[in-house]
């Protein structure tokens, strides 16, 4: 009894530890059993046939939302949106007030091209003399020239391989005479600028080449018609703004503001 009194705490602790060890072993055993049972049930579910077929997934609502996302409303904050872009009103010289909506009502974009004219270089051939002593002349007409005298036709008697200089950057050489007088054909090497090409000249069949274009401009807001025959590098004042005609093409005219280098292209609609 004395031994029990002295060591009863240790005895109780040993009993508790033994109990805990047994409980731990039991839990391990139970976990293993339960795991095996769950595995068997899982296998039955995988290999077995369902009691009823699953209904098809109804995704119509989600597809509709996706379509709405593709064709959503576009928020326009530029041009015609007047919260951040208030409407501008301008008073014209005649006192009329104009509402600026597209930006083309006044200024360079309001100018109109009324005409574009091509100016040609024309080269033709004239047979003179007689069948025994034929002579040939080549005529040059510079429709594009700014000098009125040069616009007139200038004809010169020519011979083979003799270079004729009309002006700086314009010359020609007769390289071959084909046929018999007066129905002959001249093969001519024509040089314009840095380009040299062989052309054929015969009676009634001249050669023509577009050298420059001129244009006629009108400014409807102020009812202004500018002098006809405007050329590249000419200056025009439109709505109080000076612009240079930087390019003239068969279907459009380009204006450039020297101070800003901004370019405006005006279409030609015959």
Alpha-carbon gap, residue 30 to 22, rounded angstroms: 12
- The per-residue pLDDT for 9 is 78
Q: Evaluate whether 210 touches 108 at the Cβ level (below 8 Å).
A: no
Alpha helices in the chain, H assignment, sequence order? 2-47, 60-70
The rounded mean pLDDT for the chain is: 86
What's the mean pLDDT in 251-270? 93
What's the mean pLDDT in 238-249? 93
Residues in the chain: 270
Sheet holding 163-167, edge to edge: 163-167, 170-180, 183-192, 195-202
- The per-residue pLDDT for 2 is 67
Q: Evaluate whether 248 touches 116 at the Cβ level (below 8 Å).
A: yes
In the chain, which ranges are E strands? 88-91, 97-100, 112-129, 134-142, 154-158, 163-167, 170-180, 183-192, 195-202, 207-219, 224-225, 235-238, 241-249, 252-256, 263-267
- The per-residue pLDDT for 84 is 67
For the stretch 113-156, pLDDT in tens is: 999 999 999 999 998 888 888 899 999 999 999 999 999 999 99
Q: Evaluate whether 186 touches 177 at the Cβ level (below 8 Å).
A: yes
Of the pLDDT bands very low, low, confident and very high (cuts 50, 70, 90), residue 205 is: very high
Instruction: Give the angle subtended at the CA of 21 by the CAs of 20 and 23, to the nearest 5°.
Output: 60
What's the mean pLDDT in 166-171? 93
Alpha-carbon gap, residue 113 to 23, rounded angstroms: 103
Nearest to 107 by CA among 261, 262, 219, 218: 219
Collapsed DSSP state (helix, strand, coil) of residue 5 = helix
Alpha-carbon gap, residue 247 to 255, rounded angstroms: 7
- The per-residue pLDDT for 58 is 84
**CA max distance for the chain:** 169
Q: Evaluate whether 119 touches 143 at the Cβ level (below 8 Å).
A: yes
- The per-residue pLDDT for 5 is 65
Write down the pTM of the prediction: 0.63
Collapsed DSSP state (helix, strand, coil) of residue 170 = strand
Structure tokens at 140: 């040059």
For the stretch 53-107, pLDDT in tens is: 777 888 888 888 888 777 767 766 666 666 666 777 777 767 778 777 776 778 8
- Residue 40 CB neighbour total at 10 angstroms: 10
């Amino acid at each position: 009894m004395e031994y029990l009194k002295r060591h009863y705490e240790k005895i109780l602790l040993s009993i508790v530890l033994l109990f805990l060890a047994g409980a731990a072993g039991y839990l391990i055993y139970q976990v293993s059993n339960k795991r095996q049972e769950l595995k068997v049930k899982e296998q039955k579910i995988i290999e077995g046939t369902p009691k009823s077929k699953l209904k098809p997934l109804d995704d119509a609502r989600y597809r509709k939302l996706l379509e709405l996302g593709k064709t959503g409303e576009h928020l326009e904050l530029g041009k015609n949106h007047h919260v951040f872009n208030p409407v501008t009103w301008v008073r014209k010289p005649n006192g009329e007030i104009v509402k600026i909506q597209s930006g083309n009502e006044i200024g360079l974009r309001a100018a109109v091209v009324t005409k574009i004219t091509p100016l040609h270089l024309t080269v033709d051939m004239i047979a003179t003399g007689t069948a025994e002593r034929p002579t040939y002349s080549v005529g040059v007409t510079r429709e594009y020239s700014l000098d009125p005298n040069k616009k007139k036709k200038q004809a010169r008697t020519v011979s083979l391989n003799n270079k004729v200089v009309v002006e700086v950057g314009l010359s020609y050489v007769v390289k071959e005479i084909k046929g018999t007088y007066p129905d002959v054909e001249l093969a001519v090497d024509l040089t314009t600028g840095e380009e040299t090409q062989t052309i054929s000249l015969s009676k009634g069949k001249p050669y023509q080449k577009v050298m420059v274009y001129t244009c006629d401009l009108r400014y409807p807001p102020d009812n202004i018609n500018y002098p006809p025959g405007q050329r590249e590098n000419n200056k025009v004042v439109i709505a109080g703004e000076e612009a240079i005609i930087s390019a003239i093409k068969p279907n459009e005219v380009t204006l450039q503001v020297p101070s800003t280098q901004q370019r405006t292209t005006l279409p030609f609609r015959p």
